[in-house]
A and B are shown apart, each in its own frame.
Chain A
Amino acid sequence: MPIHEKSLIRPENLHVHEELEIDGVDVSGHWSTFIGSRVVTDYNEDLEEEIAALPGGEHIHRCWQCGSCTNSCTVYAVNEDFNPRYWIYLIRIGMEEELLRDGDIIWQCVSCNKCTYACPRDVAPEGVMKATAHWLELKGHRPKSPSILFDEVFSEQVFATGKIEEGRIVRDFFRRTSQPLVQEWLVEMVRRMVRHLPLKQLMTMGWFTILRPRTRGWGRARAAIAEHVAEEEARRRAALGLVDKATE
């Protein structure tokens, strides 16, 4: 039976040295396990405002830690490490390192919004989860998630042409997520489309794939959207303390 207390300590805080001598005393091996400090020594006071600057995070400061969000959470029901209440707390008091430990599960929120309904203080925890996932990506702590990449492919195409062309979206999305274009399910889907869709529609789709038509008079709308998107992105990057390379 190992020492029980060790189960309470994170593995990375347990230090065992193969060969170590301190002041003439041999402290090598398992019986001289060291425990790293887990004392919180400071808060990052900007963290809450950074999350609040991203869409969905605006009301995070209202949280009073009742746990309604976690209790109602769909993901928590299958993974107890998924704890919105806890992350909101870490953000509010600025325990950034602690938050980053869970960087690989925070984005798993399925946006069912049960928490939004349960929250007595209108924190909108689902929005906070979205903002936090976004923050992790903007700060470079996590690669862009497939869903963010899809959103980008989708919106870039709408911004460029005013239209959506499904074939290109799928192709571009696969390229950005390094997926092969030929996938079993996709081949099957195309085969059925060819079999069942009217000829005219198939021709239109093919035609659009080649010609990439734009919505008439899209130029002005595109300029306005581009300006707005650029402004929003600059605002968010500034709020997160990220300096734009262009303005450096």
Chain B
Amino acid sequence: MSKPALIVGGGPAGLTAAYALASIGQRTVLVEKEDRLGGAPILSGYAKLVPSGEWARDAIGAMVERVGANDLVEVRAGASVEEFSGEAGAFTARLTDGSGIEAGAAILCTGFTHFDSVNKPEWGFGTHADVVTTTQVEQMFSSGDGVRCPSDGRKPKRVAILLCVGSRDRQIGREWCSKICCTVASNLAMEIREELPECHVYIYYMDIRTFGLNEDLYYWKSQEEFKVKYIKARIAEVTSDGERLIVKGEDTLVKRPITIPFDLVVHAIGMDPNVDNLLLSSVFGVDLEPHGHIGRASVYDAMGATSRPGVFVAGAATGPETINDSIAQAQAAAMAAYTFLHGGRAAAK
């Protein structure tokens, strides 16, 4: 019997890769540095997912369960890979808990890190209590508490959602579009309007990128059914008059400066490369692409291959990615790893 595949990271991609390999009879070892599986949707407490509308704890929770119940998947949580050596087909991994793994191939499903809004101090996060991130609003919903101003627990009457926080911003070295934030923001805007019908929600945007089928299901729907207002403006700064937040910027469509009071300001934060990517790059000996994500060896040829033969990558480790696409990539990477382990064409290359 062949050696197991090592899967690093227990989020949607890692869970998918493990389950996909197990379902064709391939043993895997799933290493997760946190003490539980589920990745960002579970660890960060996401609420309802796009586009299914299912609660993250149900949807991703089911993925965790089916992996946990599978004999062919060995889960090692609370540990990370410290050393990774050997040749393709005969790798040896040493974990931080002292244990070792003999693996024939590895799939990196190491995901991303949420942008830390403190890096955009002009938008008030960390200075004003009522400036929060989309992740925090997700938590307000998933906890069942609903959307409240952190400063005093009041229901906001006016909410501003700022898009592209930590995305498309040369000032802070994040030139990429994080892909999901427009859709997430329009989804949250609808949820806020649903929970608090009296609350007005404004979205400040540079472009709206609710790509593909999300256009009418999120952007249009939020405008047409939920009366969410979209204002084309990049905000200059978020301050406070002592009572409410003051949002300053320029409304580009009317060429007028704006200074508007809000109760709650939400940063639609982007997806950074995993903060551990430099470490992962050196441990696994894989190249990073120019933005700092784990690089793919080929766009059209090998599925999920990295610069190191036998080491594959899937999901948001490769760049901003949706859960759906992370799952699809993980299935492709599982296919590639399986072929590699069993001497298929990919191995011959």
Task: Spell out A's residues near B (CB within 8 Å).
Answer: 38-43, 45, 48, 61-62, 64-65, 86, 89-90, 92-93, 95, 98, 121
* Residue of A38, A45, A62, A86 with highest tally of chain B CB at under 10 A: A45
* Min CB–CB distance A49 → chain B (angstroms): 8
B258 touches A39 (CB 8 A): yes
Instruction: Collect the chain B residues with CB atoms within 8 Å of residue A92's CB.
Output: 229
> Chain B: interface secondary structure?
strand
Q: Which of B33-41, B161-169, B171-179, B249-257 contacts A (4 or more CB under 8 A)?
A: B249-257
Q: How distant is the Cα of A128 from the Cα of B258 in the complex, in angstroms?
A: 25
13 contacts between A and B (CB under 8 A): A38-B256, A39-B256, A39-B259, A40-B254, A40-B259, A40-B260, A61-B224, A64-B208, A65-B232, A89-B253, A92-B229, A93-B231, A98-B256
Instruction: Collect the chain A residues with CB atoms within 8 Å of residue B232's CB.
Output: 65
Instruction: Collect the chain B residues with CB atoms within 8 Å of residue A89's CB.
Output: 253-254
B254 touches A95 (CB 8 A): yes
* Min CB–CB distance B160 → chain A (angstroms): 11
Q: Indicate with 1 or 0, residue by residue over B211-251, a CB within 8 angstroms of chain A CB atoms.
A: 00000000010011001011110000000000000000001
A62 touches B256 (CB 8 A): no
Instruction: Collect the chain A residues with CB atoms within 8 Å of residue B254's CB.
Output: 40, 86, 89-90, 95, 98
B257 touches A38 (CB 8 A): yes
A40 touches B251 (CB 8 A): yes
Q: With A61-B223, A62-B223, A64-B223 in contact, do A40 and B257 touch (Cβ < 8 Å)?
A: yes
Q: How distant is the Cα of A43 from the Cα of B261 in the complex, in angstroms?
A: 9
Instruction: Collect the chain A residues with CB atoms within 8 Å of residue B229's CB.
Output: 92-93
How many A-B residue pairs have C-beta atoms within 8 angstroms? Tell me: 47
The 6 A-B pairs with the shortest beta carbon distances in the complex, nearest first, are A40-B258, A39-B257, A39-B259, A40-B256, A41-B259, A62-B224
A42 touches B223 (CB 8 A): no
Q: How distant is the Cα of A61 from the Cα of B251 in the complex, in angstroms?
A: 18
Residue of A nearest to B227 (CB): A61
Within 8 A of A (CB), among B259-279: 259-261
Please tell me which one of the listed residues A39, A42, A86 contacts residue B261 in the complex, with CB atoms under 8 A apart: A42
A45 touches B200 (CB 8 A): yes
Q: How distant is the Cα of A86 from the Cα of B220 in the complex, in angstroms?
A: 19
Please tell me which one of the listed residues A43, A62, A65, A86 contacts residue B260 in the complex, with CB atoms under 8 A apart: A43
A65 touches B257 (CB 8 A): no
Residue of A nearest to B256 (CB): A40
Q: How distant is the Cα of A110 from the Cα of B202 in the complex, in angstroms?
A: 33
Q: How distant is the Cα of A245 from the Cα of B63 in the complex, in angstroms?
A: 65
Residue of B nearest to A37 (CB): B257
Residue of B nearest to A89 (CB): B253
Q: How distant is the Cα of A92 from the Cα of B202 in the complex, in angstroms?
A: 11
Q: How distant is the Cα of A156 from the Cα of B214 in the complex, in angstroms?
A: 50
Q: With A45-B200, A86-B254, A89-B253 in contact, do A64 and B259 touch (Cβ < 8 Å)?
A: no
Residue of A nearest to B253 (CB): A89
Instruction: Collect the chain B residues with CB atoms within 8 Å of residue A41's CB.
Output: 258-260
Q: How distant is the Cα of A61 from the Cα of B254 in the complex, in angstroms?
A: 17
Residue of B nearest to A52 (CB): B227
Q: How distant is the Cα of A61 from the Cα of B222 in the complex, in angstroms?
A: 10
Other than the given A62-B223, A64-B230, 20 more pairs (CB < 8 A) read: A38-B256, A38-B257, A39-B257, A39-B259, A40-B254, A40-B256, A40-B257, A42-B261, A45-B200, A48-B227, A61-B223, A61-B224, A61-B227, A62-B224, A86-B253, A86-B254, A90-B254, A95-B254, A98-B254, A121-B220
Residue of B nearest to A95 (CB): B254
Instruction: Collect the chain B residues with CB atoms within 8 Å of residue A65's CB.
Output: 232, 253
* Min CB–CB distance B282 → chain A (angstroms): 47
Q: How distant is the Cα of A86 from the Cα of B254 in the complex, in angstroms?
A: 7
Residue of B nearest to A40 (CB): B258
Instruction: Collect the chain A residues with CB atoms within 8 Å of residue B230's CB.
Output: 64
Q: How distant is the Cα of A64 from the Cα of B220 in the complex, in angstroms?
A: 9
* Min CB–CB distance B287 → chain A (angstroms): 41
Instruction: Collect the chain A residues with CB atoms within 8 Å of residue B202's CB.
Output: 93
B260 touches A42 (CB 8 A): yes
Instruction: Collect the chain A residues with CB atoms within 8 Å of residue B261's CB.
Output: 42
Residue of B nearest to A8 (CB): B255
Instruction: Collect the chain B residues with CB atoms within 8 Å of residue A48's CB.
Output: 227
Residue of B nearest to A92 (CB): B229
Q: How distant is the Cα of A98 from the Cα of B256 in the complex, in angstroms?
A: 10
Instruction: Collect the chain A residues with CB atoms within 8 Å of residue B258's CB.
Output: 39-41
Instruction: Collect the chain B residues with CB atoms within 8 Å of residue A121's CB.
Output: 220
Within 8 A of A (CB), among B74-112: none
Instruction: Collect the chain A residues with CB atoms within 8 Å of residue B223's CB.
Output: 61-62, 64
Q: How distant is the Cα of A22 from the Cα of B224 in the complex, in angstroms?
A: 52
